[in-house]
Amino acid sequence: EQEKLRSINMEKQLQLLSPSAAVPSPVQDLQLALQEKDHIIEQLQMTLKNQEALIRQKSNAEEQTTAPSTDELSD
C-alpha cells in the first residue's frame, strides 16, 4: 500500500509540474494541422474557381474577336 501511495504522489507531482494546458497534446496538434490544411484547401479551391472564370472570360473574348461579324457574312 505504501508503494501505491508513492506512485499516486509521484503522479500528482508530475501533473503539477507539467499541466496539460501548457503543453499541447498530440491530438490538439493534429487538429490544428487539419484545420490549417482545410483552410489551405479552401483557398486553393477559391483560386481555382477564379482561374477558371478568367479562362472562360478570355475564351469568350477570343471567340467574339475571331468570329465573323454579321457584316462579313452578308458579303
**20-70 pLDDT tens trace:** 555 568 888 899 999 999 999 999 999 999 999 999 999 999 988 886 655
Count of domains in the chain? 1
Q: How confident is the model at residue 5 (pLDDT cuts 50, 70, 90)?
A: confident
| pLDDT recorded at residue 27 | 84
Q: Is residue 60 part of a domain?
A: yes
Q: Is residue 19 part of a domain?
A: no
Q: Is residue 2 part of a domain?
A: no
Q: What is the pTM of this model?
A: 0.52
Q: Is residue 32 part of a domain?
A: yes
Q: Is residue 12 part of a domain?
A: no
CA–chain centroid gap for 73, Å, is: 52
Q: Is residue 17 part of a domain?
A: no
Count Cβ atoms below 10 Å from residue 72 Cβ, excluding itself: 8
